Amino acid sequence: MAGYTDLPFRRVARRYGLYYGTTALIDAGALVHGNPDNATILHRGEEEEWLQVQLLGSIPTDIRTSTRILRDGPWHFDALDFNLGCPVRKVIKRLAGAALMKQPVRALECLKEMRDNWPGVLTAKMRILKEDDPEPTIRLAQQLEAIGVQGLAVHGRLARMLYAGPVQAHIIRAVRENVHIPVTANGGIFTLKDAQTLSEETGCERVMVARGAIGVPWIFRDIATGNVQPISREELLETMTYHVEEMIREYGEKGAMTFSRKIISSYLSGRGLPHELRAQVVKVSTWQDFVELRTQLTTCPAQVADFHG
């Protein structure tokens, strides 16, 4: 979700019922060394009632310092989450994210630094360690609980699977049954049915939506109400426009329009648009370019682009 879950993304999602939001991953080393991107990642809207910050790293001293920065800074986050689940290669190569699960001693050392220096709610996100044996995943989850983690999100795939293949719901269920802290089920949620199925199969009352919200923020409304509500062309274009406007507000027009291309594409994906129209997205460089594209989307024949899916 890096590059997506910024303040504009969350503002759109909150219009559709998101409450428990989280920042994009922030690297502990980047915090320690004052990376200029930190301000964008950590920008919290004044209207956001609840926001969790998500920390990544594998060096205990960096974890200690970055936790104190987050504790003493101006953001006032409601919870601190430690990422043990990111499977991206550049993260794995640094022995962080999902790679840290295979070094439980260091992982626990990092979490102890967080627990000792963070006065609020502390959570962690992890992946499963084996598909056919829940014991290794249960053991790590219990160690996290023992050190003071108060909530755990479990992605039901191995790190090497990235985001492909079936979610091993039985492993998530086994974790839930063997710890005393809340467990959130994660993995493969793109529809209301996906969320309901994963909740039923794992026994978890809580599910985490990630990639399934990109270009589909109304998934939160569907899950909250338990009903799929069709999206009209007008609502889709209004939501997309609001998202782009918030991007401009956050980054300025020049930066926002470059960042917005992938956002616009995500809203239009899978809607049967002609190639010529979809190709125009990569040429959007100004607000006026976007307005012209939106006008074409407004007038294109309904039978060409079904906006009700």
Active site residues: 86
- CA-CA distance, 62 to 56, in Å (whole number)? 10
| Helix, strand, coil distribution of the chain in percent, nearest 5 | 50, 10, 35
Q: Which residues contact 49 (CB under 8 A, 6 or more apart)?
A: 19
Do residues 167 and 188 touch, judged by C-beta distance below 8 A?
yes
- CA-CA distance, 227 to 289, in Å (whole number)? 35
Tell me the one-letter amino acid at 141: A
What single DSSP character describes residue 58?
A: -
Q: Which residues contact 189 (CB under 8 A, 6 or more apart)?
A: 195, 198, 207, 208, 209, 210, 212, 219
Extract the tokens encoding 57: 């790293």
Do residues 119 and 71 touch, judged by C-beta distance below 8 A?
yes
| Number of residues written out for the chain | 309
- CA-CA distance, 298 to 293, in Å (whole number)? 9
- CA-CA distance, 244 to 258, in Å (whole number)? 11
Do residues 53 and 83 touch, judged by C-beta distance below 8 A?
no
Q: Are strands 183-186 and 151-155 parallel, antiparallel or unpaired?
A: parallel
- CA-CA distance, 147 to 140, in Å (whole number)? 11
Burial 72-81 (b: 16+ CB within 10 A, else e): eeeeebbbbb
